[in-house]
Amino acid sequence: MSKTKTKFCCQECGYESPKWLGKCPGCNGWNTMVEEVEITGKSKGFHTALTQTKEKATSIIHIESSHEKRILTQMNELNRVLGGGVVPGSLILVGGDPGIGKSTLLLQTSHSLAAVGLKVLYISGEESTRQIKLRADRLGALSDRLFVLCETNVELIEEAIENVQPDFMVVDSIQTVFHPAVTSAPGSVAQVRECTGHFMRIAKIRGIATVLVGHVTKEGAIAGPRLLEHMVDCVLYFEGERHHAYRLLRAVKNRFGSTNEMGIFEMNEGGLAEVTNPSELFLSERPLGVSGSTVVASMEGTRPVLVELQALVSSTNFPSPRRMSAGIDHNRLSLIIAVLEKRVGLFLQNQDAYLNVAGGVKLDEPAVDLAAAVAIASSFKDRPTQPFDVVFGEIGLTGEVRGVSRIDQRVKEAQKLGFKRVIMPRKSMKGWTPPQGVEIIGVDTVADALNAALE
């Protein structure tokens, strides 16, 4: 006989407790514990014949090696982020702010796959079929091999999968889907965990590439338990300002490719359009002859991107100056300012410092340190940098400039866009021949870089 018991589960991290707690011991979140009913006994497990499998353990040396054939979409930026295309049988989680364009991206992707002869099933739990048809008319995403289903019951979705036999499937969104055997409300930790596991078994057994759309919290993380990101093969974040036209697609987890790749799209009336030259895009509105502006060559996965760094240093009357950054880690900004004060002699203790990455890009690479230092010094001294200079390099606490990788790709990207000088670490110049038409200036310390950039 099955039995029921009550437990309290955290909606943020999935921590379970037999009694209610105001503060979750797992994630330290307040008022996140919600009462749920758990069914124990023989009827607790519910797996249909579609998701049941029985395999024997095999020695690894007897397993045949094979290259997984990928499904290429008509969006090269999406293929880049996924590591070369969609892998059959993979489970992909896509997250992003409301209204950022997740449904638009996936509907365009579904249409591109249906156009090459694949069967695509688009499951929506948030919109009606008429709403999806209106968006498809606007995007031109009409195909007889693209099937639309508005359903939230996992068992009914399973029947539709059995009838359609799709090659690619989209579930929008996982927070709206529920399993009738779980007594919790849709979107709860138990429902999200169970439904994701159900779709994972279907994807692996039948070889259906499945995309799950996930809501995000106000902190920007995907809602639901952290286990959700561990269960899937790939986690993609769709980022960007709602009031700007550009969108960034990043991979934070990918079992079939690199997690450093970034895809760039532009939102227009006809949907999302690919941006093939992001460097030219980010530098299109760059002012010339203005202090505090520097161009840095950063690597986003396998692609070099030139981005403008803007710094503003102004005096303050408060005892504690402000340090604000957008696109760069705040702690990294404090470290760079400390090096400029101690090793270069710039008195910044009574100065507010603001650093911004133009275009809304987030740069996590240490190679942007030197460009940030040059931009801050340029604004502090009110002396503009050379308009055709590119700066990159990592800064150490003793004021030295450390070497970075892939300098040939960075310099070639700068040459392609018409830049004449590159200020870079001297240690990275060994065993490398610079291209013609670009002056390479190797520096060992931050002071050397400032003398070269602000001469």
The reply to whether 100 sits in an annotated binding site is yes
| Bridge-based pairing state of the strands 389-391 and 421-425 | parallel
The reply to whether 319 sits in an annotated binding site is no
Torsion of CA 25, 26, 28, 34, to 10 degrees: -80
**Which one, of 245, 159, 187, 134, lies nearest residue 11 by Cα?**
187
The reply to whether 92 sits in an annotated binding site is no
**Which one, of 430, 358, 417, lies nearest residue 389 by Cα?**
417
Cα separations in angstroms, 176 against 108, 173, 202, 214, 435: 22, 6, 18, 10, 55
First vs last Cα of the chain: how many Å apart?
A: 83
CA-based torsion, 248, 252, 255, 259: positive or negative: positive
The reply to whether 41 sits in an annotated binding site is no
- The sheet that has 389-391: what strands, in order across it? 323-326, 351-357, 303-315, 293-300, 389-391, 421-425, 439-443
Q: Which residues touch 203 (CB under 8 Å, ≥6 apart)?
A: 89, 90, 91, 169, 209, 210
The reply to whether 393 sits in an annotated binding site is no
- The sheet that has 3-10: what strands, in order across it? 16-17, 3-10, 33-40
Q: Is the peptide bond before 173 cis (omega within 30 degrees of 0)?
A: yes
The reply to whether 101 sits in an annotated binding site is yes
Residue with tokens 């200036």: 441
Written as six digits, the tokens of 154 are: 């996992």
The reply to whether 364 sits in an annotated binding site is no
**Which one, of 406, 296, 436, lies nearest residue 359 by Cα?**
296
- Beta strand segments in 14-136, E: 16-17, 33-40, 91-96, 120-124
Torsion of CA 255, 260, 265, 267, to 10 degrees: 80
Q: Helices 369-381 and 446-453 meet at what angle, rounded to 10?
A: 60
Contact (CB, 8 A) for 446 and 399:
yes
Cα separation of 436 and 196, whole Å? 54
Gyration radius from the chain CA atoms: 26
Cα separation of 119 and 132, whole Å? 17
The reply to whether 428 sits in an annotated binding site is no
Angle at 216 between CA 214 and CA 220, to 5 degrees: 140
**Which one, of 389, 396, 358, lies nearest residue 374 by Cα?**
389
- Binding site, by residue number, is 96-103
Per the annotation, binding residues for ATP are: 96-103
